[in-house]
Amino acid sequence: MAIEKVIEYFENLGIAEKIKQFEVSSATVELAAKALGCEGARIAKTLSFLVDDSAVLVVTAGDMKIDNQKFKAFFHTKAKMLTPEQVDALIGHSIGGVCPFAVNEGCKVYLDESLKRFDIVYPAAGNAQSAVELTPDELEKYSNSLAWIDVCKS
């Protein structure tokens, strides 16, 4: 299960205590914000796309949407979301728990600039009942992201 991969990943980093697990679902921005008791914008949602036959994750603030023109300008292709089957196969996490940690080899991670306005953000941790409390700098470090990009609109 993906949550175990993420827990092991964070244990190896010595920061497994940052993972929060819930009795309730955190599969959507709204549910995660309710479970955490925070505003939805602080939920770092991880969106999965197919770019040049490879999985690409873009982590954005919970109140943002992908701007198709900005996405195309950066990735040189139209934004095409992965199917649920592709998410499992290419990323190694299931929808509702997709996160930028302990992903399959070849999966590229990018962070959207919209997250930088917060001191703390909460990405998922591999299942639909989890989150990780991180600063944007920690998110950058532990996600092994390739770059901060600007591909969203509010």
Structure tokens at 125: 């941790």
pTM: 0.96
Q: Is residue 28 part of a domain?
A: yes
pLDDT over 90, % of the chain: 96
DSSP 8-state symbol, 121: B
What tens digit of pLDDT does each residue of 6-38 get?
999 999 999 999 999 999 999 999 999 999 999
CATH number at residue 19: 3.90.960.10
What tens digit of pLDDT does each residue of 36-85 get?
999 999 999 999 999 999 999 999 999 999 999 999 999 999 999 999 99
Domains held by the chain: number: 1
Average confidence score pLDDT of the chain: 96
Q: Is residue 112 part of a domain?
A: yes
What pLDDT is recorded for position 154? 80
DSSP 8-state symbol, 106: T
What tens digit of pLDDT does each residue of 58-67 get?
999 999 999 9
Q: Is residue 153 part of a domain?
A: no
Q: What are phi and psi of 43, to 5 degrees?
A: -75, 120
Q: How far is CA 13 from the centre of its chain?
A: 18
Q: How far is CA 51 from the centre of its chain?
A: 17
Q: How confident is the model at residue 1 (pLDDT cuts 50, 70, 90)?
A: low
Domain that holds residue 110: 2-148
Q: Is residue 21 part of a domain?
A: yes
Mean pLDDT of 125-140: 97
Q: Is residue 154 part of a domain?
A: no
